[in-house]
Structure 1
Amino acid sequence: MFKKVFSFILTSICLFALITPIQAQENSENIGLTAQYAVAIDAKSGLVLYNKNMDERMYPASMTKVMTVIVAIEMMESLDTATTITQSDIDTVWETGASSANFEVGEAVTYYDLLLGAILPSGADATRALANNLCGGQEAFVDKMNETVKKLKLKDTNFVNTTGIHDPNHYTTVHDMALIVKYAVQNEQFREVYSKRFATSSNGLHQWVNKSMYNAGRSHIDTSNIIGCKSGYTDVAKNCLASLDKVGKMRSLQL
């Protein structure tokens, strides 16, 4: 089991029918959860259903890209806007060991391609390109991310990059992350990107799969109720996972 798994559940009350122990065992490890940090909150009310160290500071790894993508979407006039990949979009991606959507300098793409590249293969090149195109640089875009942190009144979150590459000053809590995802999935365009299991870029040069879903399938894990998910990993953060689930007629989000 992962050393650290960041769990957030945005759902309706019917979740109790499937995860009965969570409703009554707040801050308990007796449900078999080995995650170091976890939280479950109701999707509509934000009510905390379960928590384990939910207010302790931790590192979000590529969960960061949830914030990157929702901030980018809110700045876009059209997802079909065309752009070209530049050297600055791919700078430091390989040097830092970040995941890549494998865009190449000079490649013609759309903003929608960049959103897909950020979520499915967790491409740092995609998030850098979003920041460069929408704000003219990384720092200005990160400022927008932190403005959203303030808007959501998050208690202990600060971003210093768009990718989730480890930095001591790039941190959050699982409760704050749950609120970020709760906010993001209210956006229809975000949900569309987040729910993709596989996609082909508009230029036909790339085929991506959701790595979390792919790995779960290889491990024979039932993913039929998962609407969408996003994973992440750094040496410090360890494994992170977020999933939007359907429980009966209701939706739940687990990170």
Structure 2
Amino acid sequence: MKKIVTLTLVLMLTFLSMQTVSANENKQEDQDLSLADSASSAILIERDSGAIMYEKNAHEQLPPASMTKMMTLLLIMEALDEEKITLDEKVRVSEHAASMGGSQIFLEEGEEMSVNDLLKGVAIASGNDASVALAERIAGTEEAFVQKMNDKAKALGLENTNFQNPTGLPAKNHYSTAYDMSVIAKELLKYGKITNYTSVYEDYLRKGTEDEFWLVNTNKLVKFYDGVDGLKTGYTSEAKYCLTATAKKDDMRVIAVAMGAQTPKERNKAVTNMLDYAFSQYKTASIYKKNQPVTQIAMIKADKDKVNVVTGDAVSILLKKGQDSSGIETTIKIDQDMDLPLEKGAKVGMLQVKQNGKVMTETPLLLEASLNKANVWKLFKYSMKEMVKNAN
């Protein structure tokens, strides 16, 4: 059994006329709202905490269409972060990738395009061919990439999602839910650079050549709703019109998902209603920034005396306007049964935010720098120091 050291910090939040809202509160109030009547299912969450502000049939399994590409984009961003691929490297397009139908950027077999441009093709124009080309570059084959997608879904605790391809093209046993889509979007937004792509309304590929291609964002709210900078639309005849949108105003970022609307107008109206509701009724308060040090780890046989432990994501609380807040407890739990070496970014604990003893959010705690085994000289100096201390 793992040993855990727990540190509890009480944060007396003095925000006037506000109250912390957990992910499961105000459900009765939500049932009376008519924010997404035109959608089969929908959900509205705050990004940092994951707190739910509104939901409708949020766990109903439905085809996600091209919203599938949020998981594809997540694995692409992870590969970039881990330096398994680079933005400027060229990817050679296979016959299989070039053969994708539906939304595409008209890649040709044997064509070489940079990861950066292919990423634009996925994020802005929802290119199926660009999605498969990047999937094959990352995992070798589309099938192997799909396995990575499903493995990631399991790692995120998604119980109602199964992928058959990286595109969202119709396939048997390919499904997700509004809730699961919001979790994938939440994870994708950990990579702040993704909105550099999803927020672009129009751009060009192969600019200045005879094969120049105009990219136009399939998410029109990027242009017509202030603060929207992503994320992904979807449409098939089975899925109908779907959209996962994210918007940020002041320090608050929210995610709204609508699935199964009959028209693009109805889909956009449902999402717009949810965004309006979020920004008119709620506010967030930041507790920690992403990668902010919260404590330190010291290990006797390590090559460093101390290493900072940092937050793996931003930590915020969701506040309902017009009500009072009470004290918030922040609990830091550090695993004591860790073996060296430990790589930078290794998970070493959890940070919990509680109100009245109830866990509101949990955020992984990560090592800011690697910890390796100490060399013989360092261990000798430590032993001598302990001998002197014990002698005194």
For 1:206, the equivalent position in structure 2 comes to 213
Q: Which residue of 2 aligns with 1:122?
A: 126
What is the Cα deviation at residue 45 of structure 1? 1.3
RMSD: 2.2
**Partner Cα distance (2:175, 2:108) in 1:** 30
1:187 paired to 2:195: no
1:246 lines up with 2:254 in the alignment: no
Displacement of 1:113 after TM fit?
Answer: 1.1
* Cα distance in structure 1, aligned partners of 2:42 and 2:216: 26
- Which of 197-206 and 171-180 deviates more? 197-206
Q: Is 1:226–1:246's contact at 8 Å kept on the other side of the alignment?
A: yes
Instruction: State the partner residue of 1:26.
Output: 30
> Partners in 2 of 1:120 and 1:229 — Cα distance?
9
Letter in 1 for 2:233: S
1:28, CA displacement in angstroms?
4.2
Higher mean Cα deviation, 54-63 or 80-89? 80-89
Is the partner of 1:40 in helix, strand or coil? strand
Report if the CA contact (8 A) 1:145-1:159 is conserved.
Answer: yes
Q: 1:32 to 1:235 in 2, by over 3 A?
A: closer
Unaligned runs of 5+ in 1: 1-13, 15-21
Whether 2:91 is the aligned partner of 1:87: answer no
Provide Cα deviations, 1:222-250, integer angstroms capped at 9, x if missing partner: 32321223211011110001222123442
Higher strand share: 2
> 41, 45, 67: which one pairs with 2:49?
45
Structure 2 matches for 1:64-213, cutoff 5 A? 64-76=68-80, 77=83, 78-91=86-99, 93-94=100-101, 98-201=102-205, 204=208, 205-213=212-220
- Aligned residue pair count: 226
**Greater RCO (Cα-Cα under 8 Å, separation 6 or more):** 1
Query: Mapping of 1:207-246 within 5 angstroms?
Result: 207-213=214-220, 222-246=224-248
Shift of 1:32: 5.8
Structure (1 or 2) with the greater helix fraction: 1
Larger gyration radius, structure 1 or structure 2:
2
CA distance in 2 between counterparts of 1:117 and 1:180 reads 20
Aligned residue number for residue 3 of structure 1: none
TM-score by length of 2: 0.54
Report how far residue 196 of structure 1 moved.
1.9
Per the normalisation by structure 1, the TM-score is 0.81
CA distance in 2 between partners of 1:177 and 1:50 (Å): 14
More displaced stretch, 23-32 vs 177-186: 23-32
Instruction: Quote the offset at 1:203 in angstroms.
Output: 5.5
Gap runs ≥5 in structure 2: 1-17, 19-25, 258-392
- In the alignment, the residues of structure 2 paired with residue 73 and residue 247 of structure 1 have an alpha-carbon distance, to the nearest angstrom, of 24
| Structure 1 residue 160 displacement after superposition | 0.8
Cα 1:112/1:28, change in 2 over 3 Å:
farther
